[in-house]
Amino acid sequence: MRSEENWDVETMDLSELMTRGRDQVGNLTFYKLVFNALDQLARENAADDETYRRALVGLVSGFLSAVQPRYLPQAVAAKNLLLKKAVF
């Protein structure tokens, strides 16, 4: 995913994402809630693990594609923190 500033948030490491999105730090809780809700939605409605995984990838990808470019660093950082099971 490229933002309007021409940096690739998918290849940035977590510290760079956090630095770029420092002014949005309050949004981490919002993104955590969104990604947890998408995970629960996919988990509760999937017939098997593969369907769950595909559904979650689709839901998260769809959400991230709708996020304004200036908010992508924090959104992707939150996604990465949750994937790493980090507490935030």
Q: Within a domain: residue 2? A: no
More confident residue, 25 or 63: 63
Residue 88 lies in a domain: no
Q: How many CB atoms lie within 10 A of CB 24?
A: 19
Residue 60 CB partners (closer than 8 Å, separation 6+): 35, 38, 79
Residue span of the structural domain in which 23 resides: 14-83
The residue ranking higher by pLDDT, 57 or 16, is: 57
How far is it, in rounded angstroms, from Cα 20 to Cα 14? 10
In a domain, residue 3? The reply is no
Residue 73 inside a domain? The answer is yes
pLDDT digits (tens, 9 = 90+) for 26-82: 677 888 889 999 999 999 999 999 999 999 999 999 999 998 888 888 888 888 888
Pick the more confident residue, 33 or 85.
Answer: 33
- Ranking 8-12, 20-24, 35-39 by mean pLDDT, the lowest is 20-24
What does the pLDDT read at residue 45?
96
User: How many domains are there within the chain?
Assistant: 1
